Structure 1
Amino acid sequence: MTGKLKRDFIKRSLSIFLAFVMVFSIVLQSGITSHAEELSSNVITKAFVTDLEGNPITAPMDAWKAFRVNAEYALPNNQVKEGDTTTLTLPVGFAPSAPFNFEIKDASNNIIANGKLVDESPMKVVLTYTKYAEEHSGVKGSFYFNIQINSGTQTQTGVIPVTLTAKGDGTVIQAGTVTYNPHQVTGVQLIKGGWMDSGNKTIGHYKIAINQTNKEMVNAKVTDTLLNPGVQYIEDSFKILEGKWVSNATGTDILFTEESDITAQYKDKLKVEGNKFTLDIGNRPAGKGMMIRYKVKISYEPVVGEIFKNKVELIDGDKTFSYSASYKITDASGGGEGYVYKIKVNKTGKNGIPLSGVEFDVIRVRNNQKVGTITTGADGTGEIGNLVLDKYKLVETKTPSGYLPLTEPVFVEESDFTGNDKIALKNIVNQPNEKISVSVTKKWIGPAKDSVIVELRKVGSNDVLQEYELKASDNWKHTFTGLDKYEDDGTLIKYEVVEKNVPEGYTSEVTGTMENGFTITNTNVEKVEVSVTKKWVGPAKDSIIVELKKVGSNDVLQEYELKASDNWKHTFTNLPKYEDDGTEIKYEVVEKNVPEGYTSEVTGTMGDGFTITNTNVEKVEVSVTKKWVGPAKDSIIV
């Protein structure tokens, strides 16, 4: 083989190999890659309509009033892939109602499919399956979504069928019928509507229709008020529109036409303050009406069935118009039955005695707002209804006499609402308020008076609860009985005793405890004086020291140096008159060191004063000699 032929052969071989690789790759990819697609067969096995609470519809439906379409489904095994869809189309004349998105889950909260309402004419429901549907067999269940009659596109009246048409194979599923008999309407000066956002239930929408008669307006003003706590206006959502209100062809609706945005014209006339806004419309010529649109934000996650209320007032000339509107939180393919839940309390005391007249504030934990009050009757029970399924707390605000109040709230969990009656029952027991006694004893230091009055008070309060006159005849003792141990809020009461009028010349001291008893000691504070004078019999010394003692005691209470400069006198002052046991004290004075050659004698009394006499006792000698001038005698006396 020549070189050129060899090169050509290699090129042809390489081309064939590359072509084979490409074909094999395509075949391989087609074998391992799946593409999402509409299911070719219908999966809906049953459908029926109800109201939003799941009850049969028995009355005619108004336009734009939401109701529920319920559906049961069964998925074919090994045919559903992640991303596959089922599309269901409803007849023209129906429109979706919030929420527009929902999830279909199994009992373990795994998502089987995501549902979406498509706001077209006709409206559609699209179910998009997850990996769950691909990996499980025997998948079946139910779901529901909300729709409403669109007065603008619904051409039928009377009994209207509700159907679901499967896109995959064209199967038509009958869901029942609704009766629609629209009334003839005429324009009004003020009307309002509200609804939940289709994708976020913490957002609400409101629409205020003004002057549907297109007449002249004079000094017009709108005042709007949000009635639920925790809801506020989204200020940048306000739109003020001008247009012409006209009746539709059948006279069953008033349509807003030729609308234009005039929000900028009223920028300085729109005032939003808390849960209220005002709009000074002023004067407007005939031929035009108005519409105000705005959104609100709920500060917490609302629950299904919760209702949000609003009212609006229009002043036009000398007339005032009012309108109240509300909307309900709805769901799709989930629980929630609206305001059908109740809380019931059974209040008892000691030995199961029913307690009547007990009051509770019922507070919704989610937004910390009071939703009502429960008051117990003669049988000890009380209840509150029209509640959404949520967590609550019961705060006791009134307790029967003789019983302790609850110090902590009683919580009601969602799981407490059980049974067909949807009642959460709470058995609540109040403990009796125990009674205690407080004793007091009177002690005298000094002469006892005839009596004293003792007051009983709470610590920190000047209010006198009780008082008693203590006397010697009852051994100066008394016990206050039948006292509440606890305050109404459950805190322990601390009592004290106070002497009403302390006798003159006495102090009053309270010792002891509430548990062991109090002692009120009255101490006599009278004072006495003891005077002393120094008297010398013989030459006086420079000074002496005098000690003051109690008679019978060697303890020196005071001492003083007596000198000639103070005339040998001193008075001991401010001396207690009585001992602690009430006996009168007897004082005495003693010379500390008696000078050598002197004796010391104390005379006088404590009342008149003492005199200390120092007497000199020194001795001397005198010699004598007898001289006789003449014959001496035997003796003489000198």
Structure 2
Amino acid sequence: MSKNGNFLKKVGLAFLSILIVASTIFQTTVVKAATSYGSQFLNTVELLDKDGVPQTDFGYYDNMDVHYTWSIPNSTNVKAGDTMDFTLPSQLALATDLAFDVKDSKGQVVGTATVKKATNQVTLVFSDYVEKHSDVKGELDFWTAFNQKVITGNETVDLVFPLENGTTVIDVEVGEKTPVSPTETLFKYGWVDASNPSLIHWVVRVNYAKVNIPNAVFTDIIGAKQTLNFDSIKAFHGTYSADRVFTAGAPISSTNFSATSDGFSVALGNLTDSVQISYTTTTTDGGKSTQYDNTAKLAGTDFVTKQTSTWTPASGGGGEGGGTTGSVTLTKEDAKTKATLAGAEFKLVDSKGTVLQESIKTDTNGKLSIADLKFDTYQLIETKAPTGYKLDTTPVEFTIGENNQAITVTKENTLNTGSVELTKLDAATKATLAGATFELQDKEGNTLQTDLKTDENGVLKVTDLVPGSYQFVETSAPTGYKLDNNPV
């Protein structure tokens, strides 16, 4: 008994394991991977200066806008989640990682772009916008500077950019890396934090020339769309090498730092050596601006005040896109009277037979309209006729294309009709009587048809009658019979 019991348990466990395995197999879901189209949609590329003018000659410290145009061929079936991926030349450097939406003129998102500072890798992930529009195209912009790790200045650089048919080369003349002027007393620079685009780092080089400045005071005015992080202020006496490397010496006490209405100041006393001041600001726009600025001022007794306004290197990126769609308007009409008909229902089918929309109704004016149709051949198929009319499922086919973006079509319906049959009989014998003549009237007595005669079987038949109430009135009796003009 025990052995049998164990055997049954083992069989039961084996059966259960089979069920679990089978369940696992049958529940497997296949997910289609997104397609990367690489650089095949990229049409043109150029370098623009800060004024948006194409250039191939830049200073060593200049910023450049890498400007791309792109387009998706209508024959390419791009889906939401598919990507365009390419890499910017290694001789160019980004200030920070980038992420931005590419939108059309109505604010609809065409895709989302990301750029990695470490690799210069650009990825544009398309939204379902590309599935609903044709002639999808746009522009992309990336603010860059020369990568000073590989560019030394005063040279010609061959920048290789990916494009749809491979690559293209832009030869760029790079200006000289200029040394610090030995008479410099004030210089300032800043940059966007590599991992936090809302954080700006600022560094001020004070008295590189090491002149005597009695009662020296440094003042900084914070620019627009920024707030000062007062606790981040640091200042050190020290020395600069010819290639701008600072060696810090004694720190300047924070008691010398004072907040002002629009920034801060640092009391430097009788200054005879160099000082480096650093601090950070936080943007109030989330790092969305291309550049941020601050103004620095150095004053002292018997010293001509120096002032400089400084912009961060241009950073960020952006893009725009767009696409084209068409529309169709169908008018539903009575086949005879051409009166418009409300209440008809249709479904919309594309060239692949996919039903895109259902239960689309004609309005009180007998019209239905469908917008935002990408280029394709479609069919409108009637699924419900207007009340009192025959259903006609013959497809209404139309094509949306470059030269046919606003289509108008008409669909006619015929009324549901009935028939009536009258048999003329002898009142006594019930024999059928030929040759009786009638007219057909509506319920108000208006004559609709005349000269309707019973045949040799005593029968007359009227067809194609629209729904309503009717009556027959005898106008001529059969030979040998009395006329009976009571309505039937």
**TM-score, scaled relative to structure 1:** 0.41
Distance 2:170 2:55 in 1: 10
Matches within 5 A, 1:230-241: 233-240=228-235
Distance 1:229 1:94 in 2: 28
- CA 1:157–1:258 in 2, change beyond 3 Å: closer, same or farther? same
Distance 1:210 1:23 in 2: 72
Which residue matches 2:24?
A: 22
Contact 2:97–2:116 (CA<8 Å) still a contact in 1? no
2:280 is aligned with 1:294: yes
The offset of 1:132, in angstroms, is: 3.8
Which residue matches 2:203?
A: 207
Which residue matches 2:311?
A: 327
The offset of 1:70, in angstroms, is: 0.9
2:247 is aligned with 1:245: no
**1:255 pairs with 235, 241, 244, which one?**
244
- Where 2:178 maps in the other structure, the secondary structure is coil
Distance 1:222 1:177 in 2: 46
- CA 1:205–1:325 in 2, change beyond 3 Å: closer, same or farther? farther
Distance 2:46 2:175 in 1: 21
Cα deviation 1:207-257 (Å, max 9, x = unaligned): 3122435x486646343253868866442342335665334xxxxxx3334
Contact 2:68–2:141 (CA<8 Å) still a contact in 1? yes
**TM-score, scaled relative to structure 2:** 0.51
Task: Structure 2 unaligned segments of length 5 or more: list them.
Answer: 321-488
- Where 1:192 maps in the other structure, the secondary structure is strand
- Where 1:154 maps in the other structure, the secondary structure is coil
Contact 1:217–1:282 (CA<8 Å) still a contact in 2? no
Contact 1:48–1:71 (CA<8 Å) still a contact in 2? yes
**1:176 pairs with 166, 170, 178, which one?**
170
Counterpart residue type for residue 159 of structure 1? T
Counterpart residue type for residue 240 of structure 1? A
Contact 1:101–1:199 (CA<8 Å) still a contact in 2? no
2:298 is aligned with 1:313: yes
**1:94 pairs with 92, 95, 102, which one?**
92
- Where 1:139 maps in the other structure, the secondary structure is strand
When the two chains are superposed, the root-mean-square deviation of aligned CA atoms in Å is 4.4
- CA 1:318–1:15 in 2, change beyond 3 Å: closer, same or farther? same
The offset of 1:161, in angstroms, is: 2.8
2:259 is aligned with 1:272: yes
Contact 2:103–2:111 (CA<8 Å) still a contact in 1? yes
Distance 2:222 2:20 in 1: 75
The offset of 1:177, in angstroms, is: 3.5
Cα deviation 1:135-191 (Å, max 9, x = unaligned): 66653322112111233442464332333358xx9x853363432121431353321
Count of residue pairs brought into register by the alignment: 313
The offset of 1:270, in angstroms, is: 0.9
Contact 1:189–1:321 (CA<8 Å) still a contact in 2? no
Distance 1:160 1:12 in 2: 71
Matches within 5 A, 1:277-426: 277-282=264-269, 289-295=275-281, 308=293, 310-315=295-300, 319-320=303-304, 322-327=306-311, 332-333=317-318
- CA 1:105–1:175 in 2, change beyond 3 Å: closer, same or farther? farther
Distance 1:242 1:6 in 2: 88
Cα deviation 1:448-500 (Å, max 9, x = unaligned): xxxxxxxxxxxxxxxxxxxxxxxxxxxxxxxxxxxxxxxxxxxxxxxxxxxxx
2:141 is aligned with 1:144: yes
Cα deviation 1:578-619 (Å, max 9, x = unaligned): xxxxxxxxxxxxxxxxxxxxxxxxxxxxxxxxxxxxxxxxxx
**2:180 pairs with 186, 192, 207, which one?**
186
Distance 2:288 2:20 in 1: 63
Matches within 5 A, 1:108-147: 108-120=106-118, 123-133=120-130, 139-147=136-144
Distance 2:38 2:110 in 1: 18
- Where 2:59 maps in the other structure, the secondary structure is coil
Counterpart residue type for residue 204 of structure 2? I
Distance 1:100 1:133 in 2: 22
Contact 2:38–2:85 (CA<8 Å) still a contact in 1? no
- CA 1:38–1:14 in 2, change beyond 3 Å: closer, same or farther? same
Cα deviation 1:367-415 (Å, max 9, x = unaligned): xxxxxxxxxxxxxxxxxxxxxxxxxxxxxxxxxxxxxxxxxxxxxxxxx
Contact 1:314–1:321 (CA<8 Å) still a contact in 2? yes
Counterpart residue type for residue 185 of structure 1? P
Task: Structure 1 unaligned segments of length 5 or more: list them.
Answer: 248-253, 336-638
Cα deviation 1:489-537 (Å, max 9, x = unaligned): xxxxxxxxxxxxxxxxxxxxxxxxxxxxxxxxxxxxxxxxxxxxxxxxx
Cα deviation 1:102-133 (Å, max 9, x = unaligned): 2211233222222233222x533333444445
Distance 1:75 1:242 in 2: 58
The offset of 1:86, in angstroms, is: 4.1
Seq. identity, %: 18
Counterpart residue type for residue 172 of structure 2? V
